[in-house]
Amino acid sequence: MNPGPTEEAGSTARTLITSLASTPMVLALVVFNIFYIGFSTWQAIKQGERFTENQAQWERMVEKAMAYCPDQHSKESKP
């Protein structure tokens, strides 16, 4: 009987761990890269949240400033 995908994945993972155990520097670089990608993703998400928050704050400030501007179509602003 042929092994299923689970057995094949387990075998591949065991082979990978065994080969990386003989070269700890490569294992350290792989672990570092995984953490680096995770941190970079988290940082990008937080930056996007800050940008969205700043954009909303800017829009509120512009709305307040525009409230003090005279209406261009009203009779009071005509010369």
Give pLDDT tens digits for 4-62.
Answer: 888 888 898 888 888 878 888 888 898 899 999 999 999 999 999 999 999 999 999 99
**Structure token pair of residue 22:** 């003989």
Tokens of residue 79, six digits: 């010369």
Domain that holds residue 27: 5-77
Q: Please tell me the pTM assigned to this model.
A: 0.54
Hey, what amino acid is at 28? A
pLDDT at residue 73 greater than cutoff 60: yes
Residue 60 pLDDT: 93
The residues near 77 (Cβ < 8 Å, ≥ 6 apart) are: 70, 71
Residue that the structure tokens 């928050």 belong to: 53
The pLDDT score that the predictor gives to residue 3 is: 74
Q: Count the domains in the chain.
A: 1
Confidence band, pLDDT 50/70/90 cuts, at residue 76: low
